[in-house]
Amino acid sequence: MSYPKEFLDRMKNELKDEFDLFLSALEMPAPVSVRLNPFKQTEFFYDSEIIPWCENGRYLSERPSFTLDPLFHAGCYYVQEASSMSIEHVIKENVSAAGPVVALDMCAAPGGKSTHLLSLLPADSLLVSNEVIPSRNNILRQNIAKWGSHSCIVTQSKAEDFSSLKGFFDLVLVDAPCSGEGLFRKDPDAMEEWNLMAVSKCSQRQSEILHHAGELLSEGGLLIYSTCTWEREENEEQVKILIERGGYELIQLKKNDEGIVQSEFGLRFYPHKVKGEGFFLSALRKTRGVRMIASKKKSAYAEQNQKAIIAKYLEGPELFQPFEKNGLVYAIPAKIYPEFNLIKDKLYIRHAGVPLGEIKGKDFIPSYELALCTHISDKTHFKDLSLDESLEYLRGKWPGVKLEDRSWSLIKYKGFALGWAREVGGRVNNYYPKECRIKMM
């Protein structure tokens, strides 16, 4: 591969005797890794090599066709680059399991960090997962739905739109847009877009995002900052500026693999030293600031039909509060409803709790998100399909299998839900979302 000269010169100056090893590593195939969903446990990949810094992370010996694996579409695992799973160590070391937290993933698409946070945060925590770019927000919502969590709110807002929520969050993760040097091996297009001007623009944008993100943290709150580049201007310099402004203390992150490099302001991952791509990770504790607490006022009135939907489709219906908007009914966990109520008019919300479905006259059409939710009632009628039948279903077709029930049927593969189907007039209709359907044969 032909790398930009400015990039090579800087890396040679930085790595010195290790530069040739680094360059050789960039020419090697990128490792394949996945992170298992602890809420949808399967034996698939379980015996694969464990990623040292991630309990549910696995290295694969080769890249399978994930598109043709129904368990991928069921959300049993997430395909993710290994180095970026290192946020797990920061959470486990610095977030108390004693009580729930309110967390924000500021730049969340495509959803790797958010689904990871949903696996790690204490019970009854709330995660606000934000992505401002509409097309990327669509992908984020699909991945959040697959993960099956009920305690996430997806927003589509600019960093500055959060200004009315100063001191609201206990944890803010900024996986910032960057120049992407760490992805050169995995994504050659990132190399085509790289230049010194792009580095400078990324640095400016990162500084703006961090400024807004910092204001949202309560005193004692945790700020996690990461990028997939090696540029000091985008990494250590950003952290240094925050500390020099005051109000933060640097958390000395521990290395849990000898290949990880400790720098003055964080951890660095290089492909010739760890089995992963380029990555930078830092964490800071906010030492002063305000704290905003959501009012625990009584929940809003719920219509009987909304309560009936929750009672029919969710386990522990008493744990949820219904919310309706534009005909779509949501189930919000009661313990995070005050926080939801506070932010619902301040941010552009695209997904909240469990989107149950749509009320159309006397009919209720259950949602794709409900199908994949881990809180769905085990009394829901289902049909388990074979591999070939499941792939036909995922393509938007119906494999000719008879449904034993004429009501809505949950379609499963190996016990894990994929979506809905319904028999109408002797014909089975496939309700798998068009935007999620696979085209590969």
3-state helix, strand and coil shares in percent for the chain, rounded to the nearest 5? 35, 25, 40
- Residues with a catalytic annotation lie at 228
The per-residue pLDDT for 378 is 94
Position 288 pLDDT exceeds 60: yes
Position 302 pLDDT exceeds 70: no
- pLDDT higher at 301 or 267: 267
Query: At which residue do the structure tokens 């200004």 appear?
Result: 163
Distance (Å) of CA 225 to CA 158, 201, 390: 18, 18, 40
Q: What would the mean pLDDT of 124-151 be, rounded to a whole number? A: 98
Position 298 pLDDT exceeds 70: no
Each residue of 156-198: pLDDT tens digit?
999 999 999 999 999 999 999 999 999 999 888 888 899 999 9
Which helix (H) or strand (E) segment holds residue 78: the answer is strand 77-79
Position 284 pLDDT exceeds 90: yes
Each residue of 95-108: pLDDT tens digit?
998 899 999 999 99
The per-residue pLDDT for 235 is 99
Query: At which residue do the structure tokens 């992805």 appear?
Result: 183
Position 359 pLDDT exceeds 70: yes
Distance (Å) of CA 212 to CA 219, 226, 248: 15, 16, 14
CB-based contact 257:207 (threshold 8 Å): no
Q: How far apart are alpha carbons 158 and 28 in whole angstroms?
A: 38
Q: What would the mean pLDDT of 407-434 be, rounded to a whole number? A: 95
Distance (Å) of CA 143 to CA 3, 367, 371, 406: 33, 15, 13, 29
Q: What would the mean pLDDT of 229-253 be, rounded to a whole number? A: 97
- Say whether 393 sits in a helix, a strand or coil: helix
What is the bridge-based pairing of β-strands 363-366 and 349-352? unpaired
> In 30-133, which residue ranges form alpha helices assigned H by DSSP?
70-73, 87-94, 112-120
Report the candidate in 117, 110, 103 with the shortest Cα–Cα distance to residue 131. Answer: 110
Q: How far apart are alpha carbons 376 and 353 in whole angstroms?
A: 13
The per-residue pLDDT for 304 is 82
Position 301 pLDDT exceeds 80: no
pLDDT over 70, % of the chain: 99
3-state secondary structure 425-438: CCEEEECCCHHHCC
Those residues with Cβ within 8 angstroms of residue 83's Cβ, 6 or more apart along the chain or in another chain: 182, 269, 274, 276, 277, 278, 279
Each residue of 320-357: pLDDT tens digit?
999 998 889 999 999 999 999 999 999 999 999 999 99
Q: Is the preceding peptide bond at 110 cis, omega within 30 degrees of 0?
A: yes
Position 264 pLDDT exceeds 90: yes
Q: Give the DSSP per-residue string, 403-430.
A: PS-SSEEEEEETTEEEEEEEEETTEEEE
The per-residue pLDDT for 103 is 99
Q: Where are the domains of the chain?
A: 5-286, 381-441
Distance (Å) of CA 174 to CA 212, 282, 327, 361, 436: 11, 10, 34, 43, 27
The per-residue pLDDT for 300 is 58
Mean pLDDT of the chain: 95
Each residue of 384-413: pLDDT tens digit?
999 999 999 999 999 999 998 778 999 999
Which DSSP letter does residue 386 get?
A: -
**Partner residues linked to 359 by β-bridges:** 364
Report the candidate in 183, 156, 225 with the shortest Cα–Cα distance to residue 80. Answer: 183
Those residues with Cβ within 8 angstroms of residue 42's Cβ, 6 or more apart along the chain or in another chain: 36, 71, 76, 77, 414, 416
Q: Average the pLDDT over each of 115-119, 168-172, 359-363 and give the range with the smallest value.
A: 359-363
The per-residue pLDDT for 437 is 98
> In 223-303, which residue ranges form alpha helices assigned H by DSSP?
236-245
Domain 5-286: top CATH class = alpha beta
Each residue of 192-219: pLDDT tens digit?
899 999 999 999 999 999 999 999 999 9
CB-based contact 333:374 (threshold 8 Å): no
CB-based contact 302:310 (threshold 8 Å): no
Question: Going by CATH, does the domain composed of 381-441 fall within 3.10.450.720?
Answer: yes
Strands (E), 203-319: 217-227, 248-250, 261-263, 266-269, 279-286
CB-based contact 338:295 (threshold 8 Å): yes
343-382 as b/e: b if 16+ CB within 10 A = bbeebebbbbbbbbbebeeeebebbbbbbbbebbeeebeb
The per-residue pLDDT for 294 is 82
5-286 against 381-441: fold identical: no
**Partner residues linked to 420 by β-bridges:** 410
Query: At which residue do the structure tokens 């002797």 appear?
Result: 426
The per-residue pLDDT for 260 is 98
